[in-house]
Amino acid sequence: MCFLGITANLGRILVVHGKEYSENAYNNQMKAQIISPKRGVIYDSNGNILAMNVAVETISINPGKVCYSNKKTVENELIAQGLATCLELDYNEVLEKINSKSSVVVIAKKVSEEKAENLKNWMTENKITSGINIDEDTKRYYPYNTVASNLIGLCNDANVGFVGLEDRWNNTLTGTAGKIVAMQDVYKNPISDETEQYVPVENGSNIYLTIDVTIQQIAEKYLKQAVAENSCSGGGNVIVMNPQNGEILAMATYPDYNLNDPYAVGPTGASEVWETYTKEEKNVAYNKLWLNKSVSQLYEPGSTFKIITSAIALEENLVQTDTEGDFMCTGSYQVEDYDIHCWRAEPHGVQTLRKALCNSCNPAFMQLGQRIGASTLYRYYEALGLFDLIGSDVAKTYNSVFHELQNVGKVELATISFGQRFEISPLQLITAVSCVVNDGELVEPKIVKQIENSDTGVIEVQEDKEVRKVVSKATSEKIKNMMQSVVVEGTGKRAGVEGYTIGGKSGTSEPMSGNEEAGYVASFIAISPIENTQVVVLTVLYDPEGETYQGGQTAGPVAANILSEVLPYLGINKDGENVTTQEKSVVNIPNVSSKTVSEAKEILEKYGFQIYCNITENETTAMVTDQMPKSGSLLEKGADVYLYTGENDTRLSTQVPTLTGLTVAEARQKLKENKLNIKIEGEEGKVVSQEPQAEKSVEEGTVVNVVVQKEEES
């Protein structure tokens, strides 16, 4: 009877549930090991690492199963003391976790290798062999700490971006997990099986930004200084852009924060106040601190917008730059039942358009707005991209806020003509102004230069995007000429830089009625050089509470300070600079991007440059996507120029040699051997300094600036 019972039960297992049990057994034996992808690295335009991955550890324990080498269980208090000391944690919080009834408890994530090594040593000293788990992990690390923090953004504990570029380019940076599916026995030993599968991991792609970390640091230095000096309670932001290709060279926000420790200190700066905040209030404060003001905060541009109004009027042939008696300022202008005042109590009197722009006269621009009309203004606003959602590839972006065209009455027309009672982002304004000073060509702003597949090394270049022609070259030249007058004789005098041609326009917008606590917004937009403009700088300061809130006096000097360092750094020559004996054959390299290779070669060869472009494509159809050195750089005839196309963008690096003590001829030859170019400051003598410094790794074709000096006679 027992035998029959066993047989019957065996039959039930084999026949009735055989297929089900067989599938369960197979599924239990089949194990999938997930292979996590490496997150892509973020570089600046010169290959400097802005965001990378570092090895860290995750520490967990199996409560009640932490044992010595003799299998004896370790007391929870001893474990808590050891973990708290080694990992620098709170003892009571660790003990609470250890007393948990869960089978596995995570004690700490993203633990540094140093702390993990301390824990391993402690376990060895105390002969603890099991129950404490140290598992390999990675975390995001930012070598420059606070630099470009509001632009780059953050990742969470799972290495998923949730702020800034880390968020907007998360799919590109993340990659795809791989896995190994194989059979294992009860002891987790592999079992040979034909069903074993391997799905390779696809690591995240690396992205190269248009940001130059040196220019970024320059912008941040002077922005921070201005916010402090002018007591700007709302902080500020700076954008530096190349108007010819839309590349953003710097995008700074202040206050900033440490990317490697974003939660370290409450954004209020007062720990006693911070402790009283609720969780929701803290989240609001952090999101405000992490905000990228350049794209995610709208503002009234004020008088900087008069550049746009002027360009539209000139293009429509409704005004000339220097017609005497064209405008009248009596200190205010009557529009319906409103008396709208100029910013200055003393009337400006009779003015030309140039004088009106130099004086930043509101009545003159209200009169100009009436000539243009709302429908024409809005048609150009649309063409300039002021109604477009610009900057969505940088961070969460909000579109501009304008009156609906059908709701624009005489008062609304008057105020928008001088830049108030509508809101745009700083990036929208600098893009529109860049169009006006770039011969009228609107170029889409660009923050990512190229994307590199980290597994294959294949590079995808992000092409420049010329959107449309908005105003003529003639209008563009007139606007730049008037902007230069603003800096030479108008409200922008404090934005001048000795030796360079600078144009600009100040802006001061008052808060809207009912929102007085927001304070004034002071701003300044500057361009340089006037001819062949290569740099546009926009500075915005929120709620300055110092001696003055006027844009020309607060934001103008910021633009001047930035340009005084950025222009020489980019190799842009001073206007009228003395040409030395060695520099008589020096010329500015033209921009050949978006031309075919054959066209580019023809242009460059006229200047006597040596061109290098290693391509297999047809030179008459292959388009140049980038060049080294950059356009505008000052080069000797015979210098080396490297061209890159979409199919060929493999860049090689070389090391800068030591030049100090060499003659000009020796320095030139040494740089030539290292595939580098030279720019000389001084007439004769030996090299006394160089930039970049010796032994630095740079891209082939980089211009090395050397200063030569005669040795003093004893």
Q: How confident is the model at residue 480 (pLDDT cuts 50, 70, 90)?
A: very high
Region of poorest pLDDT, from 26-35, 205-214, 387-396: 26-35
Q: How confident is the model at residue 713 (pLDDT cuts 50, 70, 90)?
A: very low
Query: Can you state the angle between helices 473-489 and 306-315, rounded to 10 degrees?
Result: 140
Q: How confident is the model at residue 148 (pLDDT cuts 50, 70, 90)?
A: very high
Distance CA 303, CA 419 (A): 5
The pLDDT assigned to 649 comes to 75
Distance CA 182, CA 338 (A): 80
Query: What is each CA distance from 683 to 179, 586, 588, 679, in whole angstroms?
Result: 65, 14, 19, 12
**Which two tokens mark 72?**
């004896």
pLDDT tens by residue, 55-84: 788 888 888 888 888 888 888 889 889 899
**217, exposed or middle or buried, with CB in 10 Å at 0-12, 13-18, 19+?**
middle
The pLDDT assigned to 603 comes to 81
H-helix segments, 88-230: 91-98, 113-125, 149-152, 164-168, 170-174, 213-229
Of residues 652 and 25, more confidence is placed in 652
Distance CA 446, CA 31 (A): 45
pLDDT tens by residue, 89-102: 999 988 888 888 77
Q: Which of 185-194, 244-253, 606-615, 695-704 has the highest mean pLDDT?
A: 244-253
pLDDT tens by residue, 545-595: 988 999 999 999 999 999 999 999 998 887 644 333 334 457 778 777 778
Query: What is each CA distance from 44 to 51, 174, 190, in whole angstroms?
Result: 10, 19, 45
Amino acid at the residue 55: A
Q: Which of 541-550, 598-607, 660-669 has the highest mean pLDDT?
A: 541-550
CATH code of the domain made up of 302-569:
3.40.710.10
The pLDDT assigned to 233 comes to 92
The pLDDT assigned to 21 comes to 65
Proportion of the chain above pLDDT 70, given as a percent: 91
Q: Can you say whether the dihedral through the CA atoms of 538, 544, 548, 550 is positive or negative?
A: positive
Reduce the DSSP state of residue 501 to 3 states and report it. coil
H-helix segments, 99-148: 113-125
Mean pLDDT value of segment 321-341 = 93
What count of Cα atoms within 13 Å lies in the side-chain half-sphere of residue 417?
31
Is the separation of the CB atoms in 138 and 175 below 8 Å? no
Is the separation of the CB atoms in 540 and 520 below 8 Å? no
* Residues comprising the chain, all counted: 714
Is the separation of the CB atoms in 178 and 37 below 8 Å? yes
The pLDDT assigned to 139 comes to 85
Distance CA 310, CA 291 (A): 32
549 — phi, psi (to 5°)?
-115, 10
CATH code of the domain made up of 36-208:
3.90.1310.10
Is the separation of the CB atoms in 628 and 677 below 8 Å? no
**183, exposed or middle or buried, with CB in 10 Å at 0-12, 13-18, 19+?**
middle
Is the separation of the CB atoms in 509 and 521 below 8 Å? yes
Reduce the DSSP state of residue 541 to 3 states and report it. strand
Contacts of 421 (CB under 8 A, 6+ apart): 300, 403, 412, 415, 512
Is the separation of the CB atoms in 13 and 21 below 8 Å? yes
Nearest to 386 by CA among 444, 429, 426: 429
Distance CA 182, CA 196 (A): 5
Mean pLDDT value of segment 681-705 = 86
- The structural domains of the chain, with segments of one domain joined by +, span 2-31, 36-208, 302-569, 581-709
Distance CA 656, CA 696 (A): 5
The pLDDT assigned to 624 comes to 84
Is the separation of the CB atoms in 537 and 562 below 8 Å? yes
pLDDT tens by residue, 377-433: 999 999 999 999 998 889 888 899 999 999 999 999 999 999 999 999 999 999 999
Distance CA 528, CA 453 (A): 36
437 — phi, psi (to 5°)?
-95, 0
Please list, residue by residue across 102-138, b when 16 or more beta carbons sit within 10 angstroms of its beta carbon and e when fewer do.
eeebebbeebeeebbebbeebbeeeebeebbeeeebb
The pLDDT assigned to 324 comes to 92
Pairing type for strands 640-645 and 610-612 reads parallel
Q: How far is CA 164 from the centre of its chain?
A: 9
Nearest to 372 by CA among 313, 436, 307: 313
pTM (predicted TM-score): 0.73
Mean pLDDT value of segment 342-361 = 94
Distance CA 349, CA 327 (A): 8
Residue with tokens 């500075």: 539
Nearest to 136 by CA among 162, 109, 155, 163: 109
**Which two tokens mark 63?**
């409560």
CATH value of 581-709 in 3.50.50.60, 3.30.10.20, 3.40.50.2300, 3.40.50.970: 3.30.10.20
Mean pLDDT value of segment 251-270 = 80
Q: How confident is the model at residue 30 (pLDDT cuts 50, 70, 90)?
A: low
Query: What is each CA distance from 186 to 23, 26, 195, in whole angstroms?
Result: 16, 12, 18
Helix/strand/coil (H/E/C) assignment for every residue in 148-168: CHHHHCCECCCCCECCHHHHH
Neighbours of 398 (CB within 10 A): 14
Mean pLDDT value of segment 510-527 = 88
Q: Which of 129-133, 382-386, 616-620, 664-668 has the highest mean pLDDT?
A: 382-386
Summary mean pLDDT of the chain: 87
Query: What is each CA distance from 374 to 131, 334, 364, 377, in whole angstroms?
Result: 74, 18, 16, 5
pLDDT tens by residue, 624-656: 888 888 876 778 777 889 888 877 777 888 999
The pLDDT assigned to 492 comes to 94
**533, exposed or middle or buried, with CB in 10 Å at 0-12, 13-18, 19+?**
buried
